[in-house]
Structure 1
Amino acid sequence: MERLDPARIADTILSAPGWARLGITAPAAHLREDAAHELARVILAELDVSPREGPEGDQLGWSL
């Protein structure tokens, strides 16, 4: 497994949308959660890591 570079992660966070960087400090929990998810998506995209497959959040999966 490739070692994660803290400088690369920091640069990725700083290049994330401003609303997400600011939103992580918001007083409302739902805004902090949305911002945290966006930051995670940006980091995963930069590191070229695919998020796990399946339903996300409150979305229900259909059994086939």
Structure 2
Amino acid sequence: MKTPDSSSLAQILLLAPGWARIGLTAPNQRLREQAAAELAESIIDALARPQAILDDRQMPLPL
């Protein structure tokens, strides 16, 4: 696992499920705890995955 920089961590948070990001501000304690656990899982999963090296010369093809 590599140490993330602030921009990659911000990207991971933005790609996390929306309900989890909003759930951190919920008035219900249980929902806040579930949202925090989901965000933590998203961060751990993203950091555990090897980052794909993209080549700017490669043309993206639609699926």
Q: What TM-score do you get using the length of structure 1 for normalisation?
A: 0.69
Q: Please identify which structure carries the higher helix content.
A: 2
Q: How many residues align?
A: 49
CA distance in 2, matches of 1:16, 1:3: 18
Amino acid at match of 1:3: T
Corresponding position of 2:27: 27
Corresponding position of 1:16: 16
C-alpha contact (below 8 Å) 2:2/2:47 kept by paired residues: no
Amino acid at match of 2:41: R
Q: CA distance change for structure 1 residues 6 and 34 in 2, over 3 Å: closer, same or farther? A: same
CA distance in 1, matches of 2:42, 2:2: 18
Corresponding position of 2:60: none
Amino acid at match of 1:7: S
Task: Quote the offset at 1:3 in angstroms.
Answer: 2.9
Task: Quote the offset at 1:31 in angstroms.
Answer: 0.4
- Alignment gaps of 5+ in structure 1: 50-64
Identity %: 49
RMSD, aligned α-carbons: 1.6
Task: Quote the offset at 1:14 in angstroms.
Answer: 0.6
CA distance in 2, matches of 1:14, 1:48: 17
Task: Quote the offset at 1:6 in angstroms.
Answer: 1.2
Q: What TM-score do you get using the length of structure 2 for normalisation?
A: 0.70
1:39 to 2:39 alignment: yes
